Amino acid sequence: MPPHLQLVCACLVLSASIVGPSRVHAQRVHRVFLGYYAAFGGLEVEQIPFDEVTHLSHAFLALDDQGKVLKSDRVPSKALVDAAHQHRVKVLLSVGGGKTTLGLAKAAADKEQLRKLVAEIVEVVAGSGYDGVDLNWEFPSDRKTRQGFTELVKELRDQLDAQATKDSHGEYLLTAALPPSGRLGKYIDSGAVQSRVDWFNLAAYDMSGPWEKTAGHHAPLFASPYDPDKSWRSVSSAVEYWSKERGVPVERLVVGLPMYGRLMPVKQPHEPLDPEKRDQHGAMDFREIRQLAGKDWTAMWDDKSKVPWLRSPEGDRLVCYDDRNSIHSKAD
């Protein structure tokens, strides 16, 4: 997830899914519309469309590479929590983000450091009135971090439950991010942690970018037959992987739907990516995409993948993104 993007309103990741029973002893959650609110994205609290979401994840409580919490004057935010609660919107404190992978791995590898880190997180949650924790570890990548992820989820659940009992709070929510395929998904022991989380947030976006060998839609509903990576690169494949191969009930998956795009220096989707042109890639928020669409970029539609894309006037660049039609297709 691009760290600079404001994830509510014009530039957002909106997760939508029907969620049935969560943990056995937890409250029943019926429908989740969750938006990520980036602390440094430029959107003020009073600009948030609270009537369009049921939950917010406040991103991020970040860590340094040694697993220590980084201080910030924007996270936590009691003003955000209070405003959301006035609209009956729950707020989760999102811990992690793309730049904290090393820090989470470091903390999770040491039992005492892990306990202290979780205690600090829970203290922030309780002290600022958050409704729970969204674990955004992007992502465990080997056997050691697989075990560390499991231990972190367990410790979070135990301490959140203990805090709820201590302060007579209703049960705190705990959610966790999942990658879209088995390449990294194999390093998450879903069987060991799913009884401890209320739901999983499936990162069904960023499936294409400069880190891949071929260009492609970064959040296609269905894989294109022309895509060399069609075996895994689609929202439907991501849901199928976790629900059928890994045994996560579909009602426990909240599917992340991006409203930002990926700029790529190619003529067509599914062309090979030139590693020498990595600096020509970029993430574009929805406002920027709308500006391009209103100029001389050509709007295209991939009917196989059910997503739009834009072609530059020169025909040498494209932007893959989501619009109203593709979002509706995924939500249906």
Tens digit of each residue's pLDDT (9 = 90 or more) over 146-182? 999 999 999 999 999 999 999 988 899 999 999 999 9
Least confident of 2-16, 205-219, 272-286, 305-319: 2-16
CATH superfamily of 13-203: Glycosidases (3.20.20.80)
Q: Which of 126, 199, 206 is nearest to 165 (CA)?
A: 126
- Hey, where are the domains in the chain? 13-203, 264-321
Judged by average pLDDT, the poorest of 14-18, 78-82, 120-124, 187-191 is 14-18
For domain 264-321, give the CATH number. Answer: 3.10.50
- Asked if residue 208 lies in contact with residue 219, where contact means CB atoms within 8 angstroms, the answer is no
pTM over 0.75: yes
Q: Does residue 259 carry a pLDDT above 70?
A: yes
Distance of alpha carbon 7 from alpha carbon 81, whole angstroms: 16
Is residue 107 pLDDT above 50, yes or no? yes
H or E element in which residue 162 lies: helix 143-166
Q: Which pLDDT score is estimated for 315?
A: 95
In the prediction, which pLDDT does 187 show? 99
Residues 6+ apart with CB under 8 A from 61: 69, 72, 75, 76, 93, 94, 95, 96, 121, 124
